[in-house]
Amino acid sequence: MASTPRAIQKYESNIPRVGNCCFCFDMNAGGTMMSVFGVITGCAYLARSFYVLYNPHAFEKTLEEDDALNNDDDNIWLVYISLMFCGFLFLITSGFMLYGSAKRMSHHVYPFLIGILFSAVWAIILGTIEIFDSDMLIAFGYFAFAALQVYLWVCAVSLYRDLLEIELDPNKPTRTTV
């Protein structure tokens, strides 16, 4: 790949590459599925946060149901505003990946790569915090989620590399099917 930057060429061989996304879909279909799921997840995060923030009765019900949120020290508004931020992040990055996968443009996969890597790092941080709070079951859940995010990141990198090969030589047969 002569037209890719040298920094990418240097580390490209170190990044694992998978042949199928989720072990059974080709990379283009897998990228489309990941991005559609990300759009749905982003919409669900936004709907939940808007519902709780703009419906005072739902906000009070949330406080009654969750003992951890009943403490005066906790700021429930911050929780749902950060959930709203995550929803926007999922929606935007997944929209870019959906467009890039559909139009065969590799540079539209970048925001998804950054977003999913950010999500994996954040899950590791939260899992580590839960270890220090001695809640190992929740910590295990965060670490399992981080492992899933890393796998999906590898799938997205493989899709990016396949789309880059298509952009560099459209006549060259690649692993990604149309």
Predicted local confidence at residue 72, as pLDDT: 47
Q: Please count the CA atoms within 13 angstroms of the CA of 176 that sit on its side-chain side.
A: 30
Predicted local confidence at residue 167, as pLDDT: 78
Q: What is the mean pLDDT of the chain?
A: 76
**Pick from 55, 21, 54: which is nearest to 35 by CA?**
21
Most confident of 37-41, 47-51, 52-56: 37-41
Q: Are 36 and 98 in contact (CB under 8 A)?
A: yes
Would you say residue 67 has pLDDT above 60? no
Would you say residue 65 has pLDDT above 60? no
